[in-house]
Amino acid sequence: MTKRCRGCGANLQTENPGEYGYIPPKRLGETDDDDLVCQRCFRIIHYNKDELGPVLATASSQALEEGVAWSDHVALVVDLLDFDAGLPSALLESVSARPLLVVANKQDLLPKKTTAAEVALWAKNRLRQLGVEAEVQVVSALNGFGFAGLAQWIEARQPKLLFAGVTNVGKSHVLSRLLGMRLGRKQQYAVKPTVSAYPGTTVSWSRWWLSGGIELADSPGFVPEGRLSDMLCPACARELIPSRTLSSKLYPIAPGQMMHIPGRATVVCQESTPGALLIGYCGSGVSWEKSSERHLAKWTREFDGHCPIQNWEEHTVTVPRNCDLIIHGLGWISARKGEYKLKGYLPAGTKFSLRPCLIGPKQQ
């Protein structure tokens, strides 16, 4: 039988260091099969360097299909900070053949005043709007929040459970924490699924055996379309992805004024209810700033920072009071105390959508 890397699921091979799954021949004989990791995983874990780059969309889709066919339940992991980008219809279609648990991860990044019960209810409503019926568990793989409930859910069902989701939402991190809890297994696995800040780390699906017939499987991230962070170099992408804190900025924005993340996205106010405010949320490597429409070109087409965007698209959108305008793979803007008619300037191909606000008052 082909041996697999415990970290990323790749088939192990000793021929080509430039391909996934390469392992120096002498390592094969040295270590227990359950503890083998490829050279790429070794370098990601120890040097935080991914020299081969992210999984291809075709390989990831095929592995997802195989994983779903094997499973009897699917845990769809979604990043709470990029929730809508985590639910592409093609992915939902692939996993819809199985009972679904939505694992809403990265709860630690939300403000303390936003409770888990409130988030779970919000997520259930949002999923229903998108046509998805599922149970929801709000968790943080980083600090363990919600894992007692998740473990209980698993123990009650003894499932063959596949962790699926778009790239970088924390599938491997969630699984790794569950494996650390053992779920009845006497001995912990010495090697866990590889976690990294770059999307596309896990390259094939791989199974983990626990006691009582429970089997968990990691899978490569589904590669979504329209996520701004995927259009930039890894360093610029990391600036956009919230990892330790979520940044928020509140501005009274009036017609003729704009809010923007330099070189990445701009919204210009066309009309607004007097007294209305905009709150911009994003990762802490970048920041929503206020400016005047006069400076639009400077912060879009003429932006001279790293990864300048060549093609910009213009959109007109009305954001009702207490709703979020989400820019996939970047962050969101929330309207408070009134409604906004905005003109948005986004890199071509970036998806955006509207939803009831995640943080703050829930009634429109």
Ligand X SMILES: Nc1nc2c(ncn2[C@@H]2O[C@H](COP(=O)(O)OP(=O)(O)OP(=O)(O)O)[C@@H](O)[C@H]2O)c(=O)[nH]1
Interface residues with Mg ion (CB under 5 A)?
A: 171-172, 201-202
Q: Which does 306 bind (CB under 5 to 8 A by kind): ligand X, Mg ion, Zn ion, none?
A: Zn ion
Q: How far is the CB of 4 from ligand X (least distance, A)?
A: 15
Closer residue to ligand X, CB minimum distance, 201 or 257: 201
Q: Is the CB of residue 141 less than 8 Å from the CB of residue 177?
A: yes
Closer residue to Zn ion, CB minimum distance, 94 or 196: 196
Q: How far is the CB of 8 from ligand X (least distance, A)?
A: 7
Binding region for ligand X (CB under 6 A): 105-106, 108-109, 140-142, 165, 167-173, 195-197, 199-202, 220-221, 243
Spatial distance between the Cα atoms of 151 and 185, rounded to a whole number of angstroms = 13
Spatial distance between the Cα atoms of 219 and 203, rounded to a whole number of angstroms = 7
Handedness of CA 102, 106, 109, 112 (dihedral sign): positive
Q: Which does 158 bind (CB under 5 to 8 A by kind): ligand X, Mg ion, Zn ion, none?
A: none
Closer residue to Zn ion, CB minimum distance, 122 or 303: 303
Q: How far is the CB of 142 from ligand X (least distance, A)?
A: 3
In the β-sheet with 160-164, what is the strand arrangement from edge to edge? 135-138, 100-105, 73-79, 160-164, 215-218, 206-209
Alpha helix positions (H), the chain? 25-30, 39-47, 57-70, 89-95, 116-129, 147-157, 171-181, 234-240, 296-299
Q: Does 5 bind Zn ion (CB under 5 A)?
A: yes
Closer residue to Mg ion, CB minimum distance, 172 or 272: 172
Closer residue to ligand X, CB minimum distance, 36 or 141: 141
Q: How far is CA 114 from the centre of its chain?
A: 19
Q: Which residues bind Zn ion (CB under 5 A)?
A: 5, 7-8, 38, 41, 233, 236, 306-307
